[in-house]
Amino acid sequence: MLELIPAIDIIDGKCVRLSQGMYESKKIYNENPVEVAKEFEANGLRRLHIVDLDGAASHHIVNYRTLEQIATKTSLIIDFGGGIKSDEDLVIAFDNGAQMVTLGSIAVKQPELFIHWLQKYGYEQIILGADVKGNKIAINGWKEESQQELMPFLRQYIEKGIHKVLCTDIQCDGMLAGPSIDLYKNIMKEFPELHLIASGGVSCIEDIQKLDKAGIPAVVFGKALYEGRISLKKLSTFL
């Protein structure tokens, strides 16, 4: 069964969404992310993906207080990403309630440090973030494109023990035009044991059904919920 992971993206302590990662496209959906998280939990969801967009742009964690509030006021299993660039950032994330962290930029720029964290904290707590634009990995809040191609990037870390990957197709993210199912199928064909978390483009319950049918293990989605295209009650069949 497909694992459902709603997303809360945070700027200035508020729940927002972007389109294709562009900060100028910011739309505020709720002034209180804690209330959003509580609603998710009340409707049977157990996982949550939090992105500190201020942190991603600032190269260090910013919205850790919001993480702490959500973690203490719900029992959701939280993975947290955005701005984790140092040992101190990683400790702040875990100390404030994250059970897992999603790391992308650091895996591109400082692979030795990423592997060190992987070995120190364990493979269950570290998720590899693979944000893709035109088959190239993007970093630093998607503002910078690296020269690393997706499949070799994944392979090098899977060989090191990574088994959780959050893959976002940037061109689909926030566009409500459907997820890149072919991309995710190709990844699963290449790495069938991978716990792949698909992200970007989910627009309706049918998109979630297609990902489930394609054998994708998990999906992150947000804007379709906030825009009312998917109701929390309709997700009950997947829970």
Neighbours of 223 (CB within 10 A): 23
- Active site residue: 131, 169, 173, 207, which one? 131
Contact criterion met (CB below 8 Å) for 48 and 13: no
Instruction: Name the 3-class secondary structure at 39.
Output: helix
Give the H or E element holding residue 47. strand 47-52
Residue ranges of the alpha helices (H) in 61-218? Answer: 64-73, 87-95, 105-109, 111-121, 150-158, 181-190, 205-213
Is-catalytic flag, 131? yes
Is-catalytic flag, 9? yes
First to last CA, the chain: 8
Strand pairing category for 195-199 and 164-169: parallel
Name the phi and psi angles at 90, rounded to 5: -65, -45
Residues with catalytic function = 9, 131
